[in-house]
Chain A
Amino acid sequence: MSNKPSVAGLANVLYIDLTNETSKVVERQDLHDKYLGGTGVATMLMHEEFKEGTDALDPESPIVLSIGPLSGIFPCCTKVVAMFRSPLTGEFGESHAGGRLAMAMRFAGYSSIVITGRAKRPVYLSIYNNDIRFKDASSIWGLSSTTNIGKILRNVEPSAGKRSIIRIGTAGENRIRYANVNVDTYRHFGRLGLGAVFGAKNLKAIVISGDGEIEVPSKSAYSKIYKEIFTNIVETDLMEKYHNLGTTENILPLNELSGLPTRNLQQTFFEYAETISGENFADNYLVRKISCAHCPIGCIHIAMLKTSFGPSHEYEVKHISYDYELVYALGTNLGILTPEGVLELIDRCEQYGVDIISIGVVLAWATEMSMQKRSTTEETKGVLLKWGDVKNYLRAIDLIVESPNEFYSALAKGVVFASKKYGGEDFAIHAGGLEIPGYHTGVGNLVGLTVGVRHSHLDNGGYSIDQKAFKNNLSDEEIVDMLIFEDDIRGVLTSLAICLFARGIYTYDAIIEALATIGIERSEEELIELGRDIFMKKYELKRKFGFDLDDVTFPSRFFETASTNGMIDEARVQNVLSMYKKRRWGADRT
């Protein structure tokens, strides 16, 4: 199993110490031989680097960024895995981003970057091959737009078009617990607050590029497999939906299936779903599709928001990327009726650099608090939140990022913190401390979010299992088995940092063939075992961070609103959870 890869330069880890402004490169063949890369290698680096008891925003709290062995070499292997202790949940933080970062890291020569310490002043990192510079970022600290940060750095750094620029906005600087890291304007390390960790390190941005070359053992074998995979991507319908309407394709089907959380999950269908559907966005707002570096799909959908600002046909035009989760979080879940409203809210969040799912849920909770008159106008600084009111939501987003009083500071710490402090825990819709994504499909989703290592819908796709259950009536045992299967195979895919949208392309057979062309021999059994092993290693980390599956509680809202599969019974959820634990860890853990 641990055949040494015959390709050089795929196991280099760049260690950055911000406190002392030093760096070193270490070849970690040992880790890559066993864990391939991506989430596997990042997990092991986190085990090495994290010292128990270190707070998420402590200078010594490490950040790990990892790509996989296929990154830059095969199409759709476009993701970078970030790992950190989450300042939002206090536990395991993992987030994935596309854009150009994976390609840039590969050709700069690094499979992972480990960042520790805290810079004495605001800095940005400039990385070009082995030239690592710590540059003063004082003049861009506090700048109100993440887009402009990119524009400024683009002008002072080399390698136009092939570099990646990742940066935080003021939300990260202010350590909003769900601040994100913007990657190349339109992509993000979105969830769990990596932006706040950057902020706590005084790290404003990283600009990275390189002009490396990778030698594969057999060019003809490589070219043959490459072409097969490429053809599958562009000439079959396996990825068509991502290119056509993009992820917002899901709005109408989930609405029809009553799985689309609306107005803080008081219901699961939206009366105006047609208006903010993927179809309407594509027909009337979509102006451009772009792709992550080395992916021929082009799933990044860019809408044009044209707003009049004067009587003489004066317009301002903004280009804004949109996706399903954003249309849920700042659309249905806040009762926003128009695409313009949704886009305006997305843009505001983008410029500050906050995770849109989290802030959407926080705003939805605050709306119910406000409507039930459980928050005072003094606390809200006169902002009266009500469903569909774009103007007040914009104001509330400003105030959360600014955090001028105790109330908004609490909102900036997430829905769990805010609801513990002010009440309304029954309708603080989170799983494992993380604000929920846009699905209320049934037991599979709820248990999937709860047991998933990062409490993300992408951990095991429980929402998709529920949709299968809706059609074919799955037993609880089958649901648990499917969750475990997905947890593990997605561990393999993300160790290769393959975009999960390409999971239909990269079957075990395709993965095995692709790996073989760069000299890595693995059997299907070995890969399955690797996925399981990584899951277990992540749970070891989760326990170090203080997570215990036995302590999980659910807001009652989950059991009061009908899902795709009808009302969800809490006792059944607990039962499925016990079953999951038993199958994962054996009887002793339940």
Chain B
Amino acid sequence: MRIKVANQARCIGCFSCMMACARTYYKTVSLKNSAIDIQTSGGIESAYVAVVCHACIEPPCAKVCPTGALVKRKGGGVVFHKDLCTGCEQCVGACLVGAIHMDGDAKAIVCKHCGICISFCPHEVLEMRQVGDADDAHTKTSCEG
């Protein structure tokens, strides 16, 4: 299963998803530690863009990880072994989507596709999908997800 940005244009930019993600996996309250990132594409006047892991079948981030911290997950995406992460940031560069960034301890922040963000989205922007679903290719999304 993976998170799908199904209805990008419905996003109101409230950041509830980001707060939920960061709160779930970190001891602190923040925006920075969220694996999903809500960006603006030219200020609040223009549309929001949700950047989140695509759960690639052959994840480039895992291919470049020198320590085995990122391991290909069955059914798409990666499993992240935080203790093995040395903060080399190679995965950040390898991810074309821009879905990986580093936390305050120089460890990668990687989406687990747990879906907590979905449960806090007030506008059904995000959905849970089976990787490779037929319907996956025909969604209303623009440049991501």
Closest Cβ neighbor of B32 among chain A residues = A211
**Structural contact, A151 and B14, CB atoms closer than 8 A:** no
Contacts of B141 in A (CB 8 A): none
Q: A294-B19, A298-B122 are in contact. Are A211 and B30 (CB under 8 A)?
A: yes
**Structural contact, B23 and A223, CB atoms closer than 8 A:** yes
A44 at the A/B interface (Cβ < 8 Å)?
A: no
**Which of A200-208, A212-220, A359-367, A478-486 interfaces with chain B?**
A212-220
Q: Report the minimum CB–CB distance from A519 to chain B (whole Å).
A: 13
Partner among A107, A223, A291 whose Cβ is within 8 Å of the Cβ of B12: A291
What are 25 contact pairs spanning A and B, CB under 8 A?
A103-B31, A154-B42, A160-B40, A161-B38, A162-B31, A185-B45, A186-B44, A212-B30, A213-B26, A215-B28, A216-B28, A216-B29, A219-B27, A222-B29, A223-B24, A230-B120, A289-B12, A290-B12, A290-B13, A291-B12, A295-B14, A296-B14, A296-B122, A297-B122, A298-B12
Q: Report the minimum CB–CB distance from A334 to chain B (whole Å).
A: 27
Contacts of A474 in B (CB 8 A): none
Total chain A interface residues with beta-carbon distance under 8 A: 40
A412 at the A/B interface (Cβ < 8 Å)?
A: no
Interface string of A277-289 (1 = CB under 8 A from B): 0000000000001
The residue among A103, A154, A296 with the most chain B CB atoms within 10 A of its own CB is A296
The residue among B16, B23, B24, B45 with the most chain A CB atoms within 10 A of its own CB is B45
A252 at the A/B interface (Cβ < 8 Å)?
A: no
A interface list, Cβ under 8 A from B: 72-73, 75, 99-100, 103, 107, 147, 150-151, 154, 160-162, 184-186, 211-216, 219, 222-223, 226, 230, 234, 289-298, 319
Contacts of A162 in B (CB 8 A): 31
Contacts of B16 in A (CB 8 A): 75, 230, 294, 296
- Determine chain B's interface SS by DSSP, over half rule: loop
**Structural contact, B122 and A214, CB atoms closer than 8 A:** no
**Structural contact, A293 and B40, CB atoms closer than 8 A:** no
Cα A294 to Cα B31 in complex, Å, equals: 10
B interface list, Cβ under 8 A from A: 12-16, 19, 23-24, 26-33, 37-40, 42-45, 104, 120, 122-123
**Structural contact, B30 and A294, CB atoms closer than 8 A:** no
**Structural contact, A147 and B23, CB atoms closer than 8 A:** no
Cα A244 to Cα B102 in complex, Å, equals: 38
Q: Report the minimum CB–CB distance from A289 to chain B (whole Å).
A: 6
Please give 17 more A-B residue pairs, beta carbons under 8 A apart, in addition to A212-B32, A219-B27: A107-B32, A154-B42, A161-B40, A185-B43, A211-B30, A211-B31, A213-B28, A213-B29, A213-B104, A223-B23, A289-B12, A290-B12, A292-B14, A293-B15, A294-B14, A296-B120, A297-B14
Cα A297 to Cα B27 in complex, Å, equals: 26
